[in-house]
Amino acid sequence: MLVLLLGTLGLQPGWTQTNALPSLGNSEGISLSAERKLGDRIARELYRDPDYLEDPVLDEYIQRLWAPLVKAAAARGELSPDLQARFAWRILLGRDRSVNAFALPGGYLGVHLGLIAVVGSNDELASVLAHELSHVTQRHIARSMDEQSKMTPWVIGSMILGAIAISKNPQAAQGLIVGGQAAAIQSQLSYSRDMEREADRVGYGVLTDAGYDPQGFVGMFAKLQQAAGVNDSGAYPYLRSHPLTTERIADMQARLQLSNAPSRTPTDLTQAMLAARAKVMSQNSVEALKAWTQDSKATSAQATPAQKAGALYAATLAHLQLRDTAAAERQLQALSALAASTPEAKRLVTLLQAEVAAKQERFGQALQVLDTLNNNQPLQRPELMATAEALLRLPTHPARNSITQQLREQVTQAPHDAQAWNTLSRMLALQGQTLPALRAEGEAQMARMDWAGAVDRFRAAQDWAKNNRLQAGDHIEASIVDTRLRQVQTLVRESQTER
């Protein structure tokens, strides 16, 4: 499970908050740079979590929702230029079926696949992201940590990581933090009710200014309220860290009435398929996968097209993971017919068709399928990554050079894209470009903040450059490697002194 952090640390039975959180407006407890360093440290641990997920399709989905929110927050003055420049503003996906999202120090956000799986519209998911974004822009994390101002950021980070271990596995936390001390820490690191109300208010404005339907907030609140009315078995940890009070619900309903917002947009085919992808990827036991394969058969004739599309997508992906490719293709055929008239839904189906072909090691067919999405334009990231993966499995192909160049452009535009760096490294190695390939491996480790791994790869690149005759362009690459190695060695020393 991708662990629950800071904003998601709920109170333990028998413990109360003995120290009130700082009043709103006081965010001087920790500097921007110190908070970013603390967030980097926690993010490094998350990148190592086996359930940290890199999925180009879902990554694109969440980023498309996220980018307008950040832009709107900046335009409204909620996000200062200094804060925007200093913080990471990255979202990490976790392969966890629980309904949860959380803000971390330094502008990192975590989203569980379970949340994506249950939302009924893009607006509902965007409302959660807007709320968490507002916790960051209003410096709620810094305010919450002000009570621990006498501790160093390293100690605070250790406390958070201890609570992480407890939320994952109580026995695993023994070396970090134990017993009642953990419960006390969890109570100290939770948000206050005033902060929740402020995040609602600011988040509502950000959501609407970003062009989303404010009904998304109400729709998400309705889901959480329904979950709160039943015995929560742990599937909705978001409720424990963000208590849904009647006051919050009433306030949001009043805001909606004043805005004269239209009725909520129904779930569309694209969103239903993305929710289905998240659902299947978050619960990949054999029993769960078999259940998903039956959902499409149980879908009633009265089901909406979106419901049918979600069930068919889930069944296709589940059959694929069960290695029943014949059944996957049958479900895919029905899904393709359903999505034929909706361009974005058709695109998702085409990507799934390529995924099915690649699973059967029919990589040439996968490329042909993906080529229908090309339109002589630079590929979007999911198409680019899928095309590169297929090319890596073929002996030769005329598109290899152009895809390598597009990967170079991708990492130039998004230098923290570790998955793209890794794929670029493999493409370069396949073409005999050893030095650039080793450098790309180091950049991938840098993107995941694995400083030791980056040092290892950059040193390997240096050794190769010393022992081999450099070709055209290699001298520039070697100079970049030298610079990057010095930079990462500085980061290693800084992390050691912080202890």
pLDDT, tens digit (0-9, with 9 covering 90-100), for 330-346: 999 999 999 999 999 99
For residues 436-455, give the mean pLDDT. 98
Phi, psi of 285 (to 5 degrees): -70, 160
Phi, psi of 93 (to 5 degrees): -95, 140
Query: Which of the pair, 471 or 28, is modelled with greater confidence?
Result: 471
Between CA 392 and CA 490 the distance in angstroms is 35
Q: What is the structure's pLDDT at 224?
A: 73
Per-residue pLDDT averaged across 84-94, rounded? 96
**Picking from 31-35, 65-69, 411-415, which range would have the lowest pLDDT averaged per residue?**
31-35
Q: Tell me, what's the pLDDT at 242?
A: 56
Comparison of pLDDT for 498 and 52, the residue scoring more: 52
Rounded CA gap, 131 and 200, in Å?
A: 6
**Residue 253 banded pLDDT, cuts 50, 70, 90:** low
pLDDT at 25 over 60: no
Q: Is the pLDDT of residue 435 over 50?
A: yes
Q: Which of 96, 83, 91, 97 is nearest to 64 (CA)?
A: 91
Predicted local distance difference test score (pLDDT) of residue 217:
86
- pLDDT of the residue at 166: 47
Instruction: Using the predicted structure, report yes or no on whether residue 280 has a pLDDT greater than 70.
Output: yes
Give the separation between CA 296 and CA 193, rounded to whole angstroms. Answer: 42
What is the rounded distance in angstroms from the CA atom of residue 187 to the CA atom of residue 12?
8
Contact in structure between 411 and 443 (CB atoms under 8 Å): yes
Is the distance from CB of 107 to CB of 134 less than 8 angstroms?
Answer: no
359 Cβ contact partners less than 8 Å away, ≥ 6 residues apart: 320, 323, 325, 328
Each residue's pLDDT tens digit, 199-208: 989 999 999 9
Question: Confidence band (pLDDT; 50, 70, 90) for 370?
Answer: very high
Instruction: Output the six-digit token pair for 316.
Output: 């296709």
- pTM for the structure as a whole: 0.85
Amino acid 361: pLDDT: 96
The residue-averaged pLDDT of 9-17 equals 26
Of residues 370 and 149, more confidently modeled: 370
Q: How confident is the model at residue 149 (pLDDT cuts 50, 70, 90)?
A: low
Backbone angles phi, psi at 266, to 5 degrees: -70, 160
Distance from the Cα of residue 383 to its chain's centroid: 19
Q: Quote the mean pLDDT of the chain.
A: 83
Say which range, 70-74, 179-183, 350-354, has the weakest mean pLDDT. 179-183
Kindly indicate the confidence band of residue 285, based on its pLDDT and cuts at 50, 70 and 90. Answer: very high
Distance of CA 419 to the CA centre of its chain: 13
| Range of 219-223, 235-239, 286-290, 417-421 with top mean pLDDT | 417-421
> Distance (Å, rounded) from C-alpha 67 to C-alpha 49?
25
Residues 6+ apart with CB under 8 A from 121: 213, 216, 219, 264, 265, 266, 267, 268, 271
Report which DSSP code applies to 6: G
Which residue type sits at 177? Answer: I
Name residues whose C-beta falls within 8 Å of residue 476's C-beta, 6 or more positions apart in sequence: none
pLDDT > 90? residue 159: no
Q: Phi first, then psi: what are they for 231, rounded to 5°?
A: -70, 110
Share of the chain above pLDDT 90, in %: 61
CA dist 117 and 99 (Å) reads 8
pLDDT confidence of residue 141: 81
To which residue do tokens 């920790």 refer?
Answer: 30
Higher pLDDT residue, 499 or 309? 309
Say which range, 12-21, 32-41, 146-155, 179-188, has the weakest mean pLDDT: 12-21
Distance (Å, whole) CA 144 – CA 27: 9
Which pLDDT does position 152 carry in this prediction? 54
Q: What is the pLDDT of residue 246?
A: 63
| Tens digits of residue pLDDT in 371-416 | 999 877 889 999 999 999 999 999 999 999 999 999 999 999 999 9
Q: Which residue, chain included where needed, has tokens 């992906």?
A: 317
Model pLDDT, residue 7: 38
How large is the average pLDDT for residues 78-104?
Answer: 93
Distance CA 68, CA 125 (A): 13
